[in-house]
Amino acid sequence: MAMDGTEKEIKLEEAFAKLDEILNELESPDISLEESFQVYEEGMKLIRQCNETIDRVEKSVLKLNENGELEEF
């Protein structure tokens, strides 16, 4: 995950929990338009971080071939 030093890498489970909170906030009838834009932007940053983490993991997944050797998936 490319970080600029101001953000720390978070675990996927934490990011998904935070995204769930963000969705609840966005669905609230009491949220202002300005607040909804800020919350939406935060959610989009989390989604990008999750996608980067998932891409990195997918690239490093190994599988056993028919000869019992590990190879990249």
Indicate the domain borders of the chain: 12-72
- Let me know: does 62 contact 49? Beta carbons within 8 Å: no
Model pLDDT for residues 26-48, shown as the tens digit of each residue: 999 999 999 999 999 999 999 99
Looking at every residue in the chain, the average pLDDT score rounds to 82
Cβ-count burial 36-47 (b if 16+ within 10 Å, e if not): eeebeeebeebe
Pairing of strands 62-64, 70-72: antiparallel
pLDDT in the model for residue 3: 40
Least confident residue range of 20-24, 25-29, 63-67 = 63-67
pLDDT in the model for residue 4: 41
Better-predicted residue by pLDDT, 58 or 71:
58
pLDDT in the model for residue 67: 72
